[in-house]
Amino acid sequence: MICLIPTIFAFLMGSTSDSTLKSTTLREVTVRSSPNISGTRSLSDTDKTFIFVGKKTEEISVAKLDANLANQSFRQVFNRTPGLHIVESDPSGLNTSISVRGLSTNRSWDFNMRQNGYDMTPDPMGYNEAYYTPALEWVEKIQLLRGASSLAFGPQVGGMLNYVLEAPEFQKAFGGMAQQSLGSFHLSSTLTKFKAGNERFAWIASHQYRKGDGFRPNSAFDSNQSYARLDIKSGTQNRWMLELTRSEVLSKQAGGLSEAQFDTNPIYSGRARNFFQADWLMPVVKYQFQPNARWQGEVQVLGIFSGRSQVGFTKANEIADLPLADGAFALRQLDTDRYTSWGLEGRFAYRDSLVGRPIFLSTGFRLFDGRMERGQLGTANASTDFTLTPIQDFTRKLSFENQNLAFYAENLWQLSPRLAWTFGLRSEFIRSFATQNQPTGPFNSRSRQFVLLGSGWAYTLTPSMQAYGNFSQSFRPVSFSDLVPSATKDQVDPNLQDARAQNVDLGVKGQMGNYLRFDVSYFLLTYQNRIGQLSLKNSLNQSYLFRTNVGESTSHGLEAYVEWDPVGAMLGHKSSWGHPSFFISTSLLQAQYGDFPLANGQNLRGKRVEYAPQEIIRAGMSYRLASFSMTYQISHTASVFSDAQNSNTPLATGTIGPIPAYQVHDVAFSYRWKTHVYMKSSINNLWNASYFTRRGTGAYPGFGILPAELRNISFTFGYTW
């Protein structure tokens, strides 16, 4: 609170002179990619109502990358993002499953996932799973904020990831884009986009239809996504924004593999009747205003009307889905979720000065109500088609509701021309309700109220180099998905508790001329009451997973990104021979459990955290000459364990065991002909490596090893006007 006092005092005293207003401009380091280094950059110290001073931030210019966007290749999009662990088991690319610093990759639930600044998951505090991902061909840039997001965005331990879509332009003549992509495994992606604007109105609308057979049998997918936005100027500095996103996806689930099946044929599938379906509808209304040079604000109202459904043969992978004695197949299991969520967020910024030093106060609030109706263990027909009509009602019906009220305040004080300090807090109130038609687990109502603190600093070493550091507290509530087992034989601890974490970053970032860009930092993450899964056996000697709190874990290590243009370093200007640039993004991670005794006499002390690679290294070269560019990259991920006990000997079913290290090569090309025509091509997994990044423990997407994609090629042709 001490750091907030100067801002409050300045506000009460008031400042009206023009000279005072001019002095409120904060000194900041400009860290932007040069024309020859087109990878990533850090976010500005302040942006509209946000404060990013002292935080580990990145902004990826997706539209400038050489990457296979038609196939949602996250490995290429995040090639310069150090330490980002990516699960690569979904042939459709419909779900984003990423993590950092030893956190969970499960549908990115340790991140606050956003699109254009608003939540896109069903409920960040109750069911924070990313079943929707915008088409990467829409995305203009991706903003990533690690660890210290707990003040302005939410308490998620991993941080915040925001997909920023292309915005409409005022005074824009009618124009658009038509694009067609074709690729391996019958991939086809058709994208159309239109936009226009005048002095008061600007709009953009886009639709993508994408389909493919997937790299395994029984993994075909079909996706329809639409997005529209209308901006309306209201006065000189004020603006209304209306957005609508619609997504409908359907994919077959090829299932998981046993150890023997993967060794024999890594793309084998024993499930031909399993499907996953998700539909997403998100209307958003925003109002941005700036009544004077000191005040700025934004209010947004969000609705999420969505759901997901799964139908299929859900037995373990050692049980084949074969016709019965009468020639007919077995009946299938049907599970459905429906989500209805409303959110209201307001953010406000106040700029002024005190004793000649600039101050910047950012405040805001959040009101959210999320509801989920879940039907489990229903019975569907025995056909090979997708159906949502049960022939027998759901055995288990669940109803969840989560209410969240939050306030935050963060202040930036420029203590000297070189040193800036931030301090803030966030107050959260969460109330959860759960009802069911039969007792199967720890369902009850609970309320939580807590305050999170955060502080950061930045010191300007040179006009283009900055040292930074921060400390932040985070909170990971028990979510609806924690309370429900993913498989009927799995179990949930009835005493499951919320988790808390603390994050520290210390780093140096900057740029030298137009030839070197870097960000190197050390991090420390301590995690209490971590929610994890233990591999146990029941009275019948059958293995099952037990979800419980597994004590404290500590993650620390190094994250570094460096990109260098040798031609720019030697010549200092554009070369007629083009510009190669070499990049490397790497993380060195040690993530271990603390003292936690188990009932069988074992102790987790010193065990490695599951799905936490000790090294992730992505390195490569980009080359640009006039309208041509290419990128070649190598991605290396170290081996991980899939359970907290670090089981070295895998189960025959493939559900538990180590995940070996793997290395993948990718190459991509881009070329623009004249002004309106462009072409792109990509070869992913160039040397056809056979590997996997996940072991499935539930009926969906399958029990056992979930293989990653083999070599695939894509071609894109586009025309703009």
pLDDT tops 80 at residue 668: yes
Q: Which residues contact 484 (CB under 8 A, 6 or more apart)?
A: 374, 376, 398, 441, 492
What pLDDT sits at residue 33? 44
What pLDDT sits at residue 485? 64
pLDDT tops 60 at residue 257: yes
Token representation of residue 655: 């559900």
Q: What is the pLDDT of residues 328-369, one digit of tens each?
A: 999 999 999 999 999 999 999 999 988 889 999 999 999 999
Q: What is the pLDDT of residues 606-633, one digit of tens each?
A: 999 999 999 999 999 999 998 999 999 9
Computed over every residue of the chain, the mean pLDDT equals: 90
What pLDDT sits at residue 39? 67
In percent, how much of the chain has pLDDT > 70?
A: 92
Rounded-to-integer distance, Cα 463 and Cα 467, Å: 12
- What is the band of 4 on the pLDDT scale with cuts at 50, 70, 90? low
Inter-CA distances, 537 with 380, 542, 544, 545, 595, Å: 30, 5, 6, 8, 22
Q: What is the pLDDT of residues 67-103, one digit of tens each?
A: 999 989 999 999 999 999 999 998 888 888 999 999 9
Closest-CA residue to 646 (of 614, 622, 616, 611): 611
pLDDT tops 60 at residue 31: no
Q: Which residues contact 408 (CB under 8 A, 6 or more apart)?
A: 151, 152, 362, 363, 364, 365, 424, 425, 426, 427
Q: Which residues contact 166 (CB under 8 A, 6 or more apart)?
A: 63, 138, 140, 193, 195, 204, 206
DSSP track, 314-366: -S-TTS-----TTSPPPPEEEEEEEEEEEEEEEEEEEEEEETTEEEEEEEEEE
Beta bridge partners of 193: 177, 206
DSSP type of residue 106:
G
pLDDT tops 70 at residue 15: no
**Burial of 537 from C-beta contacts in 10 A (0-12 / 13-18 / 19+):** exposed
What pLDDT sits at residue 406? 96
Note the Cα 492 to chain centre separation in Å. 26
Q: What is the pLDDT of residues 579-612, one digit of tens each?
A: 899 999 999 999 999 999 988 888 999 999 999 9
Single-letter residue type at 39: G
What pLDDT sits at residue 433? 87
Helices and strands per DSSP (H, E), number in the chain: 6, 39
- What is the band of 442 on the pLDDT scale with cuts at 50, 70, 90? low
| Other residues' Cβ atoms within 10 Å of the Cβ of residue 142 | 20
Token representation of residue 57: 């931030």
Is the bond preceding residue 6 a cis peptide, omega within 30 degrees?
Answer: no
DSSP track, 568-611: HHHHSS--TT-EEEEEEEEEEEEEEE-S-B-TTS-B-TTPBPTT
End-to-end CA distance of the chain: 53
Q: What is the pLDDT of residues 266-282, one digit of tens each?
A: 999 999 999 999 999 99
Q: What is the pLDDT of residues 498-527, one digit of tens each?
A: 999 999 999 999 998 888 999 999 999 999
What pLDDT sits at residue 36? 59
DSSP type of residue 18:
H
What pLDDT sits at residue 479? 83
| Other residues' Cβ atoms within 10 Å of the Cβ of residue 444 | 11
| Mean per-residue pLDDT, 380-393 | 92
Q: What is the pLDDT of residues 302-320, one digit of tens each?
A: 999 999 999 999 998 889 9
Inter-CA distances, 597 with 2, 507, 548, 611, Å: 42, 36, 13, 21
- What is the band of 14 on the pLDDT scale with cuts at 50, 70, 90? very low
Domain ranges of the chain: 2-720
Helix, strand, coil percentages (3-state) for the chain, rounded to 5, are 5, 55, 40
Rounded-to-integer distance, Cα 406 and Cα 190, Å: 41
| Other residues' Cβ atoms within 10 Å of the Cβ of residue 246 | 15
What pLDDT sits at residue 438? 57
Closest-CA residue to 346 (of 395, 303, 409, 390): 409
Task: Give the three-class secondary structure for 194.
Answer: strand
| Mean per-residue pLDDT, 187-202 | 96
pLDDT tops 90 at residue 670: yes
What pLDDT sits at residue 9? 39
Q: What is the pLDDT of residues 38-71, one digit of tens each?
A: 668 899 999 999 999 999 999 999 988 999 999 8
- What is the band of 126 on the pLDDT scale with cuts at 50, 70, 90? confident
- What is the band of 26 on the pLDDT scale with cuts at 50, 70, 90? very low
H/E segment holding residue 8: helix 5-13
Among positive and negative, which fits the CA dihedral 131, 137, 140, 145? positive
What pLDDT sits at residue 92? 84
In percent, how much of the chain has pLDDT > 90?
A: 74
- What is the band of 283 on the pLDDT scale with cuts at 50, 70, 90? very high
Superfamily in which the 2-720 domain is placed by CATH: TonB-dependent receptor, beta-barrel domain (2.40.170.20)
What pLDDT sits at residue 355? 82
